[in-house]
Amino acid sequence: MKKLLATVLFGTALVLGACGGGGGDEGSSGGSSDSGGGTTDTASADQIFQNNCAQCHGSDLSGGMGPNLTKIGSKYSADEITDIIKNGKGQMPPQKQVSKEDRQTVAQWLSKKK
């Protein structure tokens, strides 16, 4: 039983560590925005996505229960994506637990996926 618990805890730590993005230079000061609207912190956007969206859209944006988002920016603008996150669309329910700031961060990031 102790080995099983240790294995589960170790596995959980590995998963959380991989999703945390801790300390690397990936996006720590933000990436530039192509639409002239400032910068998007890609590490923060990815973390918000992993915490709120990946369960349905896949951790690599490839889809699952929800649609593939790898090229969502070619279909929707950041404002449209923000609206979809806030109000839902089709079978996607509104994501009320996601703050306005987080919605905008993720939407900016996703809008660059073309």
Helix (H) or strand (E) holding 71: none
Q: What is the pTM of this model?
A: 0.66
* Residue 26 confidence class, pLDDT cut points 50, 70, 90: very low
Which of the residue ranges 12-16, 36-40, 84-88 has the most confident prediction, judged by mean pLDDT? 84-88
Q: What whole-number distance in Å separates Cα of residue 58 and Cα of residue 46?
A: 12
Average pLDDT over residues 3-32: 44
How does pLDDT run across 45-74, given as a tens digit for each residue?
Answer: 999 999 999 999 999 999 999 999 999 999
Question: Could you give all domains of the chain from N- to C-terminal order, each with its CATH number?
Answer: 41-114 (1.10.760.10)
Whole-angstrom CA distances from 30 to 70, 92, 112 are: 20, 29, 13
